[in-house]
Structure 1
Amino acid sequence: MQPSSRIAEVFAQTAREQRLALMPFIVAGDPNLETTADILLSLQSNGADVVELGIPYSDPLADGPVIQSAAYRALAQNTTPSNVLTMLRGLRDRLTMPVVLFTYSNPLLNRGAEAFFAEAADAGVAGLVVPDLPLEEAERLSPLAAEQGLDLVLLVAPTTPGDRRRRIATSSRGFTYLVSVTGVTGERASLQDRVAELVLSLKGLEAGPVAVGFGISGADQVRQVREWGADGAIIGSALVKRIAAAQPGCAAAEAGEFCRELRKAAG
């Protein structure tokens, strides 16, 4: 990993301050892109360290019902990768926390990976998560993303074999995304105990920061992730649900309030 990347710098800072990196996830365009811009700024001002921004896709295989519904609402608003990047470009002077785009391989490869990387970098994006990208393809594309200053973040699941887990952890840039459950995204009442073992295993590889996502629904689980020694906690469905339930014009304030609650738990 490149220690000079924007994402790596955030994890270095949170490590110095002995706190967990707080990493909320939202879906771009839900309920519309103007509100998404307001939500991003609200999350930043209420303690988020890195934000994961989902580009809506019609066949979101890794996403549970809450995020799928948000993606469909965003698509109904004609949200496209291009206008998501345009929105981010308009925030470059105000949005200082790193933005990691969550997208699927079809939109990425249909546009052309190198062209997409260049456009994302121009919009101020710091990294990418592509959950359905095969490891072999990720290893090929990661250097191309790095040329644009982008970290290609790879995922490890509870079912990933040890040798492949090592390969993923050493290839991932910015951080390694540890999926806490087998299955799609969504809130869970509790996290699997095996996650603690996986955090220790990945940390033992000394390949870089480890962030836990999928299934984190509130402050108690953020504290649990912190106790396990992870470097970051990614919160998606619980936040997306709050945004969807917010009164018109109140989504950014609702997201900010939830972020403050999580920030206290993250340290």
Structure 2
Amino acid sequence: MSRTAAAIDRATAAGRAAFIGYLPAGYPDKEQSIAAAVALAEHGADVIEIGIPYSDPVMDGPVIQQATTEVLARGFRIAEVFEIVQAVVEATDAAVLVMTYYNIIDRMGPDEFARRLAAAGGAGAITPDLIPDEAAEWIAAAEAHDLDRVFLSAPTSSPERVAMIAEASRGFVYGVSLMGVTGTRDAVSDAAVQVVEASKAAGAARVCVGLGVSSRSHVEEISRYADGVIVGTVLVAALRDGGPEAVGRTAAQLTGR
């Protein structure tokens, strides 16, 4: 059974949408990144995304880019990701995913990456720049090591593409609420509802919405039609400005828990 799906289903059974929080691996250092993820879980996160710092991100906005640039500048290595995942898994009940551009998986080798992630207790991976029709190696490796694989569906995705994404994903489909990069927004895009509806119609069992979610009102709005709400930038900014304790306070404000 998918650990990510199980975490989302527990939230659904409790009458709420799952809360999914993103933090960069190793920011501002390894110990604080672990503490921040634990604080997230203690204040309502059902699923935690640990982002692998990358030198040329295509989806990350300025707050996350700055954080990951700092991590890379201090000599970050991929091995740290698995250590961080293992520490968070051991300290919390949350399902822990990594979020990574596919070049990192490809360079290590899909099977080796999947093996090491599974050994660390990770639930799976979100691969924002990988499309299902080019993902055969990753899907096979994830299947072999019982890992979830999360693909993204956007407002511009064709019905044929949405169907491929729904079939290839395990855990949930990541519904992109708008075209652009991560960051805070004043309002949730109207396209988010359509992304969820299209994914559900294509057979997706769970659809969680992210990009631009930064307030309690956003969380409440998305919770009315999606299975989960994904928050990143506002949590990274809290970590930057106030450390792990601020991450916990921000998560509590967003979740009401």
Q: TM-score, normalised by structure 2?
A: 0.96
Q: 1:143 aligns with which of 133, 140, 144?
A: 140
Q: 2:211 aligns with which of 209, 214, 219?
A: 214
Deviation digits for residues 158-197 of structure 1 (CA, Å, limit 9, x no counterpart): 1111111111112111000001110111111112112112
Listed as ranges, the matches of 1:158-173 within 5 Å are: 158-173=155-170
Q: 1:152 aligns with which of 146, 149, 153?
A: 149
Report if aligned partners of 1:28, 1:54 keep a CA contact under 8 Å in 2.
yes
Following the alignment from structure 1 to structure 2, what is the Cα–Cα distance between the partners of residues 130 and 206?
A: 20
Listed as ranges, the matches of 1:196-215 within 5 Å are: 196-215=193-212
Deviation digits for residues 28-53 of structure 1 (CA, Å, limit 9, x no counterpart): 11100110111111111111100111
Which residue in the other structure is 1:256 paired with?
A: 248
How far has the Cα of 1:142 moved from its partner? 1.4
Following the alignment from structure 2 to structure 1, what is the Cα–Cα distance between the partners of residues 145 and 151?
A: 17
How far has the Cα of 1:91 moved from its partner? 4.3
Which residue identity lines up with residue 30 of structure 1 in the other structure? Y
Q: 1:78 aligns with which of 66, 69, 75?
A: 75
Which residue identity lines up with residue 137 of structure 1 in the other structure? E
Matched, 1:240 2:232: no
User: Percent identity, aligned pairs only?
Assistant: 35
Report if aligned partners of 1:158, 1:179 keep a CA contact under 8 Å in 2.
yes
Which residue in the other structure is 2:28 paired with?
A: 31
State the SS of the aligned residue for 1:83.
helix
How far has the Cα of 1:93 moved from its partner? 2.8
Following the alignment from structure 1 to structure 2, what is the Cα–Cα distance between the partners of residues 7 and 91?
A: 15
Following the alignment from structure 2 to structure 1, what is the Cα–Cα distance between the partners of residues 90 and 209?
A: 29
Following the alignment from structure 2 to structure 1, what is the Cα–Cα distance between the partners of residues 231 and 244?
A: 16
Q: 1:108 aligns with which of 105, 110, 113?
A: 105
Report if aligned partners of 1:142, 1:151 keep a CA contact under 8 Å in 2.
no
Which residue in the other structure is 1:194 paired with?
A: 191
Which residue in the other structure is 1:46 paired with?
A: 43
State the SS of the aligned residue for 2:151.
strand
Report if aligned partners of 1:156, 1:176 keep a CA contact under 8 Å in 2.
yes
How far has the Cα of 1:213 moved from its partner? 0.6
- Structure 1's consecutive aligned runs of 4 or more residues displaced over 4 angstroms after TM superposition are none
Following the alignment from structure 1 to structure 2, what is the Cα–Cα distance between the partners of residues 91 and 10?
A: 15
Which residue in the other structure is 2:227 paired with?
A: 231
Structure 1: gaps (5+ residues) = none
How far has the Cα of 1:205 moved from its partner? 2.9
State the SS of the aligned residue for 1:93.
helix
Which residue identity lines up with residue 254 of structure 2 in the other structure? L
Which residue identity lines up with residue 263 of structure 1 in the other structure? T
Deviation digits for residues 84-141 of structure 1 (CA, Å, limit 9, x no counterpart): 2123334443232111101111111011110010001111110101111132122442
Following the alignment from structure 2 to structure 1, what is the Cα–Cα distance between the partners of residues 88 and 42?
A: 14
